[in-house]
Structure 1
């Protein structure tokens, strides 16, 4: 794959134009087009029912999500939101390249992961930007390492 950049002073400063050239329209080209379209979509959001209100959170602001029973706790850098739901339902709405399940009841956003430290019995502790500490179980550790490129 060849990637290049051409500066065009005729474009507005906030505009980006993407041109894909290929010999034919293949599944790989279609996948690339879809990924570029997802990148250009405005900030994805996650509506969350909190009490009798619906709070719309920017997905990029979510640091981690934990579940205890049917109670979801969504952590951002500044607030904690509590709602009802299942972890797998929320996980299906999130980008798997950013959000990874690290324990039976925990998902974290790798953009907020600051470090990992070995802990008891093969588990690890994930230290997050909001000073939160999360347990990474042995079962989910290989997936996290693969996502981080370790």
Structure 2
């Protein structure tokens, strides 16, 4: 259970926020909350340089719909088409530093700002329908995190 309270502190400077997390132990859940707060504090980049085979492309993060790993390649599906890079998925997610990008499978990440619907799939998994009728599999293992992020 999470109890959230606000306490006014007049001795803090303007725009200064002090966050204290109290718990009996430093559990994985507490660490996850601390990481989430740190992510909030850091400004997510709006444009990311993407190194492709023959050039460096400047990608607007808001146009990024999904990420998918195919072998040693990372496929970036954007509103303007596809970009291919050899960057590792976890490294790219670190550079993104954006809570709107949710991992939905071992090899896939979606931008929830482009999520239009979730449908049941015949395999027991879910299917994410994204902007432009793009479809991405959501494995059962990652579904709970997605539902939690969507407030379900």
**Superposition TM-score tier, normalisation by shorter sequence:** 0.7 to 0.9
Residue 77 of structure 1: how far off its partner (Å): 1.2
1:146 is matched with 148
Counterpart in the other structure of 1:38: 43
Please, which of 18, 23, 28 is the counterpart of residue 10 of structure 2? 23
1:114 to 94, 116, 125: 116
Runs of 4 or more consecutive aligned structure 1 residues displaced over 6 Å after TM superposition: none
d(CA) in 1 for partners of 2:146, 2:117: 12
Map of 2:139 onto structure 1? 137
Please report how far the alpha carbon of residue 135 of structure 1 lies from its aligned counterpart in structure 2 after TM superposition: 0.1
Larger Rg: 1
Aligned to 2:29: none
Secondary structure, aligned partner of 2:57:
strand
Residues 35, 107 of structure 1: CA spacing in aligned structure 2 closer, same or farther, 3 A cutoff?
closer
Q: Distance in 2 between matches of 1:50 and 1:118?
A: 35
Q: Is 1:104 equivalent to 2:106 in the alignment?
A: yes
TM superposition shift of 1:23:
2.2
92-101 or 59-68, larger mean C-alpha shift: 92-101
The answer for unaligned runs of 5 or more in structure 1 is 3-20
TM-score by length of structure 2 reads: 0.73
- CA distance in 2 between counterparts of 1:24 and 1:116 reads 47
1:53 deviation in Å? 0.4
Distance 2:42 2:49 in 1: 21
TM-score between the two structures when normalised by the length of structure 1: 0.74
- C-alpha distance in structure 2 between counterparts of 1:104 and 1:35, whole Å: 24
Partners of 1:85 and 1:74 lie apart in 2 by: 11
* Per-residue deviation, residues 52-106 of structure 1 (Å, max 9, x unmatched): 2000101111000111121011011121111112111111122442000001110
